Structure 1
Amino acid sequence: MIKNHLTIAFRSFLNGKGYSFINVTGLAVGMACAILLFLVIRHETSYDLAQSRLDRIYRVETENIKENHTYPGTYTGMANALRADLPEAETVAPIMQRGGKTMVAGMPATGMPATGVPAAGVPAFRESVVFADNALFRTLDYTWVAGDPARALSQPNAIVLTRGYAEKYFGTVDVLGNTIRMDNKQDLTVTGVVEDYPATTSFPFNMLVSFATVKQVDPGFEENKWNGWNDNFQVFVVLKNDVAPEQLIGRLESVVVKYMGKEALSDKRFKLNHLSEIHYAGNFGGRSANVGLLKTLSVIGALVLLIACFNFINLSTARAFKRAKEVGIRKAIGSNRKALIYQFLTEAGLITFFAGTVALVLSVLLLPVLAAALAIPLAVDDLFTGSTAIFTGFLLLMTTLLAGIYPALRLSGMAPIWALKSNATVRAGQWFSMREGLVVVQFAVSLVLICCAMLIDRQLDFFRNADLGFDKSAIITVGLPDNKPEKLHTLREQLIRSAQIRGVSFSFNSASAESNWMQAMEYREGPKVVQVKTQMKMGDSHYFDTYGIRMLAGEPLKDSDTTRNFRIVVNEIFLGRIGIANPRAAVGQRVYYGDGNEFATIVGVVRNFHVNSLHQKIDPTIIQVVPNNFYQAGIKLQSEKPTSASIQSALADIEKAWTGAFPDQVFEYSFLDETLAQAYQSETRTARLIEAATILAVLIASMGLFGLATFTAEQRTKEIGVRKVLGASVGSVVALLSRDFLKPVVLAILIASPIAWYLMNQWLQNFEFKISVSWWLFAVAGSLMTVIALVTVSFQSLRAAMLDPVRSLRSE
């Protein structure tokens, strides 16, 4: 029987080549989407899950209650506080990441040459390093190639390398005792080598430097600071067995009271976030998975596959009249319904098998493109793993059942007498209603995707063109490995000599940056005390001119504003938080750092500017001169729209001046507008994926509509011939055939528009600054969908209308 079912299935497949092509193509595209999205989702949800202590590892996060926002970073005093006040913690591991370090391999065992300058020809690299202690090795799993995990990071100036980095710097893993010079200051002794980290880790650390080295790198680092934090400093804990994080709420509140004061409880809370969750928030990996995007991808993949299955159902039931006599004869000679169901499911399975083969080929071709678009380390080999094979097998089975079960039940359910009648197709009207409903669903899904793609593109255009309150164009940023005043003075003098450079500013970071310094500030007016969580922007006297930040009152900063009682400039939001309405009235007021006695005097007020991406509100902001925290140079070019030649000339001048000030350092630069655009990578990727899914969904739906139009034209060939003999024009015949297909499209527009409006409004809630959803967007999308349907149907309608009526009347 199996051989018989397969033989008949092959015959049916070959007898309807056009319909088979549409079904195979549609299902192949849908299944390829499902397979590729499975690989993406599997990758993004597998981060850190292989850790042996996974169930007990948590990150301590800082929640600002009033803003309802949680930060991955915390205070530098947190590690010692937890060691002293959290007995439920088995291990406390602080981690601090610093980027932009120039690293040079030293001489084996004896360190660098006596001059302190790397030997000529020794390559230097710009690296990100992580400061940690041995607690890290009791928290995360490392496979050791050489060294002792209990002592590797115990002493100052110790470094542990991954295998890849040991070979990168020394050409071998036998490197214990060798040295690496950091920023031409510290000689770090290699005390360990570990295997390279897996792709699915939130801790891609290649260089681990002992925490005891921090004070030598940054003399201003405070180990027990409680009035400011940075997301680059994070603390992880391994809880003891049978300790649940819910049990520690009181403990963490006690930490707030002990180190920050009872009054801080109203605004501050510390939380424990499980290790498996940190890939979806800020982490050291530099990229986070977007849960909403993953869910969206899952739904889109399912919908594209569903649309393809609907094509199969529609075309199978539409062609049912051609199988009616076959079903009737089979039943008349004794075949039961069960055997017929098996037969039709075999046909569906054969088409699904061919589609699966094509889907695999498409997946191999498209996976590199998708991996590059999403910046995910996926390779073709990932398609040939056990889990992918299981998923693909399950997908083939489900697609066969989803696409084949309804046609099988409908076709096998025909009564023999009715099926053998010559006018059996009259009863097919009920099936047409079902097909019409499926067409509505197909085009409704396509229309929702079109609306979403259009609106996301509009939001991205808003991001690109929004007024940020400062000038982001024609600014090049360069890291500063040394912020000694004499160095910076020399660098500025060299830079401003270039005809291509208008201005130079040294600062902690740019006017807008994802990595920021948060500081608790107080405004005291008699007994009244107002606490404000403030973002610190540290820049020199040229900061405002370079970034085009506009003053509203007072005066800009001076490079001499570095005394103990600082002079500062604040933004309008800060004034609003402390209750001062008039910017001029704020000049001369004092604000205090935390709850201490150190204060700063407001000397100026600037217009609000976006210190963060447009995802977030504008923070209360203070700008002050702190040369010890100048880590970046912002260089404004002369022209707002520089040519390629002028940019290259400016870069040559910048590199020459920078290299002269910092010899033996690695020169790197970036354009500020490109750096800021990276904050919207997730939305950009979402837009590209939805656009691709929209094209596929519309293509599959149009192919199905084309197949139905072909079938309808075949069914009504004689009617068309009669109408033309009686004088009907080609236009009237085309209108007649097209009208029935436009009805479900119009209904799809009415259904899809409110769904798309709701979904887009929900998506826009992720942004503090956003566009509004306009009615014309749905009108444009609906018109586009109507045109696509008309073009699809009109081809077959026109072909049928232009057929010779004599041939039409002979069709039966």
Structure 2
Amino acid sequence: MIKNYLKIAWRNLVKNKVFTLANIVGLTSAFAVAILLAMTALFELSYDQFHENKGSAYQLYLSNQTPRGTEIGTSNPVPLAPALGTEVSGIKSIARSSSEDVLVIYNNKELNLDAEYVDPSFFEIFTYPTITGDSNNPIPEKNTVSITVEAAQKMFGTSENVVGKTISLKIRREEHPFIIASILKNIPANSSVDFEIVIPFENHPDYLSNIDAWDNMFHAVYLQLENGVTPEQFEENTIAFTELHYEGSIESDIRDGAVPDANGKYKQFHLMPIGNMHFASYRSGVAVVNRIFPYLILGIALVIIFIVSANFINMNIALSENRLKEIGMRKTLGAIKRQLFIQFWLESIFVFATSIIAGLVVANLLLKPFKTLFRTKATFADVTQPSVLILFAMIVFCITLVAGGYPALLMSKLSTLKALKGKLDLGKNRLRNSLIVLQFTIAIILISGTLVLHGQIEFMRNKDLGYNKDQVVSIPLNGKKDSYRVVELLRNELKGNPDILSVSGADNNLGMGRDGSLSSSAMGFDYKGKGVVTNALTVDYDYAKTLDLELVAGRMFSRDFATDSLGLVINEAMAKQLGEEDPLSVKIPMDDGTTFSVIGVVKDYNFQEVSRAIQPLTLFMNNDWDLYYAYVKIAPSNITNSFEAIEKAWGKIEPQAEFLGSFLDENVDRTFRREKTMATIVTSGSVLGILLSCIGLFAISMLVVAQRTKEIGVRKVIGASVSSVALLLTKDFLKLVGIAFVIATPIAWYFLNEWLQNYASRVALSPLFFLGAGLLAVFIAFVTVGTRTIKAASANPVKSLRTE
């Protein structure tokens, strides 16, 4: 019996080659894309899930009630972790951690590695296994380090026989010898904490100077709670601790007008589960765990599967009319509903199985370019988990059940006589129309999202950031020499080049450079009895000249003034915070007794991510603080040669250090890389969704035209034009697209408006975005259906009226 079913299924699929091919191509494309998207989404959702203690391990953060509102910080002072571990109950392990790049030197070979300064208890909280060395304590002594297999291969060419070797680390301006105590497995790609070398926290350059300082915060704190202790209990236990150690800060905030939180507290410690760290955001004074990106990707994958499945169901319904005589004959010979159902179901399973196999092959072929395009480290292992495979099998089972069972159900209800006559009235089929509306609702939402996403990206890309991002190259100072010396050598080396306009330096980059760094420094002080918080930036001479910053008042740092090391240049936001009519009269006493004077005010510029509002900024020029980036401004006339000249000069100055120079516009683009990836995914989903929807619409139009063949013939005989007949056949489909537009627009507007709230500067959510999406959907639907209806309307009416 099964053999007979398979034989009939094969004959029917071969007989309807066009529909079979359309189904297989559509399903194959959908499965291939859905597999790749699901792989990416599941990889994102797997971040930090490999840690054995993920159920009891947390990152510490502090909510502060300040005169500016609620602020949240994950940076902590050096004495916090030891005091917290001693004075607060419920903590099993606690560790400090600070990320910085470090220059490693071995046998005249220099290599910049991602470093993590940590306490030994860091490895009690996190799961980073060792290959060689003490697995319980990979860094047993202050002068020992642990490196990953990848770092060992970079430095020594092998990871074997490396333990015990001595290397030098350049920490700030000094070199220190360290012994390699252990080799760690490479850090998983789905780890929020990423490093190549681990250094004991006591070696951090800011450790000794801040060992008792509670007002200098620069590192993260992680902890593991004891069994049975909840985060709420821990937070309750820290109230007295916070009021004791932050008493002075709380009093200053109260003095300046801070309002307590709902519990009457001004400072409160909270815990973020390490499984949520990758998705955590602390903007606007609220800790938010946001998994929109992976869920959006997963949603698009499911939407694509839904659209192609709806097409498959609709095509099966469309094809069922051609098999009415076959069904009538089989019913006459005694076929029952179950046999009809099995027949149709087997055909559906055959098409799906073929498409799944082809989809896997296509996904594998597209894997490498897909990973490059979307910058993901996901692998097929992310979608071959048993739970994922079981869910996918259930989805396929349900779809094939509907696709095969629904037409069988319709035809099994027909009388044998109607079936033999080929009468199947599906003109008012609610399922068919509902699926079309849903398909185009989804398509219009995706198109709207595509238009708004690209609009926001272009808005950020073209926004006036307040500095020259097109002609300035930033270079990480990752070499062995003193940073100020390197900047001066660059000036001298490039001085004779007419295309090099100026050279400067700073301790932070603008945007995200090729080294992947994106950071800022903040500081606070009292001014006239009021607390002031500002971002701090150390710069070299010609900083404003190099970046084309606009000076609002006063002057920039100058070589003509020896006292400029005690001078400050502030931005407009900082001047507003100080509240003085004449900012140049401001003198700020620091805790060490030094007094700084404001010598200039620059116009506000985006020194942080473009998505953030411009905050107060203070520029210092103090040679005791290192520079980390050089800036070179070049003439616009000869950009390629100028960049090559800079790279050549760098090779002379730092021959052992890698040149990682990049233009600032590239750096800015990297800061919204996530938005660009999201836009690419949504755009791809929109295109594929529209194409798949059109395949289904084309199939339905064929069904409707076939049902109304005689009506078309009669209308043409009595004088109807081709255009009127085509419009008559098309308008019903356009009505469905119109309904989809009405449903999709408010949904798209709501979600896109919510998403845009994440940006301080954002594109206006114009009705044109949604109108454009709707018109595009209508046009595509009209072209898809129109090609078929015009052909039918142009046919000879004699053929249409011929009886069978």
Q: Following superposition of structure 1 onto structure 2, how do residues 25-36 of structure 1 map, counting pairs within 5 Å?
A: 25-36=25-36
- 779 and 411 in structure 1: CA distance in 2 versus 1, 3 angstrom threshold: same
Report whether the alignment pairs 1:246 with 2:232: yes
- Equivalent residues in 2 for 1:95-174, closer than 5 Å: 95-99=97-101, 101-106=102-107, 118=108, 123-149=109-135, 152-170=138-156, 171-174=158-161
Structure 1 match to 2:446? 449
Q: CA deviation at 1:690?
A: 0.5
CA distance, structure 1, for counterparts of residue 437 and residue 545 of structure 2: 58
**Cα distance, 1:282 vs structure 2:** 7.5
Task: Give the distance between the partners of 2:693 and 2:641, measured in 1 at CA.
Answer: 49
Structure 1: distance between partners of 2:137 and 2:331: 82
More displaced, 320-329 or 57-66? 320-329
Instruction: Give, as a single letter, the amino acid of the residue that structure 1 aligns with 2:627.
Output: Y
SS in 2 for 1:430: coil
Structure 1 CA distance, aligned partners of 2:522 and 2:140? 30
| Other structure's SS at 1:429 match | coil
| Residues 711-762 of structure 1 deviation map (CA, whole Å, 9 limit, x = unaligned) | 3333333443444444444333333333332222222222222222222111
Three-state SS of the structure 2 residue aligned to 1:155 is coil
Q: Which residue of 1 aligns with 2:201?
A: 211
Q: Specify the alignment match of 2:285 in structure 1.
A: none
Q: Provide TM-score, normalisation by structure 2.
A: 0.88
The DSSP-based 3-state class of the residue aligned with 1:619 is coil
Match 1:612 to one of 598, 608, 624: 608
1:344 aligns with 2:344: yes
Match of 1:515 in 2: 519
Task: Report the counterpart of residue 94 of structure 2 in structure 1.
Answer: 92
In structure 2, distance between residues paired with 1:253 and 1:182: 40
Listed one character per residue, the Cα deviations across residues 513-553 of structure 1 (whole Å, up to 9, x for unaligned) are 630112123221xxxx3323321122133222222222222
Q: For residue 652 of structure 1, what is the aligned residue in structure 2?
A: 648
Matched residue type, 2:42 = R
Matches within 5 A, 1:381-420: 386=386, 389-412=389-412, 414-416=413-415, 419-420=418-419
The superposition leaves residues 548-588 of structure 1 with CA deviations (integer Å, 9 ceiling, x where unpaired) of 222222222346989799422222222333434x4xx2222
Once the 2 structures are TM-superposed, how far is the Cα of residue 376 of structure 1 from its aligned partner?
Answer: 1.9
Q: 1:224 to 1:11 in 2, by over 3 A?
A: farther
Counterpart of 2:257 in structure 1 is: none
RMSD of aligned Cα (Å) = 3.1
Corresponding residue pairs, total: 773
Amino acid at match of 1:136: F
1:496-518 alpha-carbon deviations (Å, 9 max, x no partner): 34333211222111355630112
**Quick one: which of 614, 627, 630 aligns to 2:626?**
630
Q: Aligned partners of 1:357, 1:676: CA distance in 2, in Å?
A: 42
Are 1:694 and 2:694 matched, yes or no?
A: no
- Cα deviation for residue 438 of structure 1 reads 2.1
Contact 1:318 1:708 in 2 (8 A): yes
In the alignment, which residue of structure 2 is the partner of 1:115? none
Sequence identity, in percent?
A: 27
1:608: how far off? Answer: 1.4
Q: Kindly tell me: are residues 366 and 435 of structure 1, through their superposed partners in 2, closer, same or farther at Cα, counting changes over 3 Å?
A: same
Q: What is the match of residue 742 of structure 1?
A: 734
Which residue identity is paired with 1:447? I
Correspondence for 1:773: 765
| Residue number among 431, 434, 437 corresponding to 1:437 in the alignment | 434
**Deviation per residue, 1:314-355 (Å, 9 max, x gap):** 223334433444445555555443443333333322222222
Q: Is the 8 A contact 1:523 1:591 kept in 2?
A: yes
Give 1:486 shift: 5.3
Q: 1:765 to 1:69 in 2, by over 3 A?
A: farther
Is the 8 Å Cα contact of residues 710 and 800 (structure 2) preserved in structure 1?
Answer: yes
Corresponding residue number in structure 1 for 2:421: 422
Q: Which runs of 5+ in 1 are unaligned?
A: 107-117
1:406-555 residue pairs with structure 2 within 5 A? Answer: 406-412=406-412, 414-416=413-415, 419-420=418-419, 422=421, 424-425=423-424, 427-431=425-429, 433-480=430-477, 481=479, 482-483=481-482, 488-511=487-510, 514-524=518-528, 529-555=529-555
CA contact (8 A) 1:356 1:396 kept: no
Q: Does the Cα contact within 8 Å between 1:22 and 1:707 map onto a contact in 2?
A: no
Deviation at 1:452, TM superposition (A): 0.8
Q: CA separation in 1, counterparts of 2:563 and 2:621?
A: 9
One-letter amino acid of the structure 2 residue matched with residue 227 of structure 1: D
Name the CA shift for 1:752/1:592 in 2 (closer, same or farther; >3 Å). farther
Contact residue 328 and residue 420 of structure 1 kept, 8 A: yes
1:793-804 aligned at under 5 Å gives the runs: 793-804=785-796
Q: 1:666 to 1:103 in 2, by over 3 A?
A: farther
Cα deviation code 1:191-220 (max 9, x no counterpart):
2222223333223322112223224xx688
2:5 paired residue number = 5
Closer/same/farther in 2, CA of residues 269 and 382 from structure 1, 3 Å limit: closer
User: Which stretch has the larger CA shift, 392-401 or 723-732?
Assistant: 723-732
Q: CA deviation at 1:63?
A: 3.5
Q: Is the 8 A contact 1:44 1:289 kept in 2?
A: no
Contact 2:697 2:781 in 1 (8 A): yes
In 1, Cα distance between equivalents of 2:565 and 2:542: 21
Deviations 1:63-112 (A, max 9, x none): 3545555444333332233233234222221112212x332324xxxxxx
Secondary structure at the aligned position of 2:604 is classed as coil
Q: Which of 147-156 and 696-705 deviates more?
A: 147-156
1:448 deviation in Å? 1.2
Per the alignment, do residues 551 and 251 of structure 1 end up closer, same or farther by CA in structure 2, a change over 3 Å counting? farther
Deviation, structure 1 residue 784: 1.8
Distance in 2, matches of 1:439 and 1:242, equals 53
Cα pair distance change 1:316/1:736, threshold 3 Å: same
Q: Deviations over 1:471-503 (max 9, x none)?
A: 222211223344465565444333434333211
8 A Cα contact 1:540 1:558, kept in partner: no
Cα 1:468/1:325, change in 2 over 3 Å: same
Kindly indicate whether the alpha-carbon contact (under 8 Å) linking 1:477 and 1:632 is maintained by their aligned counterparts in 2.
no
Q: Distance in 2 between matches of 1:272 and 1:376?
A: 28
User: Hey, what's the Cα distance between the residues in 2 that align with 1:144 and 1:19?
Assistant: 57
Matched to 1:496, the amino acid is K
Question: Post-superposition shift, 1:368?
Answer: 2.3
Distance 1:403 1:253, change over 3 A: farther
**Alpha-carbon spacing, 1:151–1:780, altered in 2? closer, same or farther (3 Å):** closer
Q: Which digits, 9 at most, give the CA deviation of each residue in 1:294-315, with x for residues without a partner?
A: 1212222222211112212222
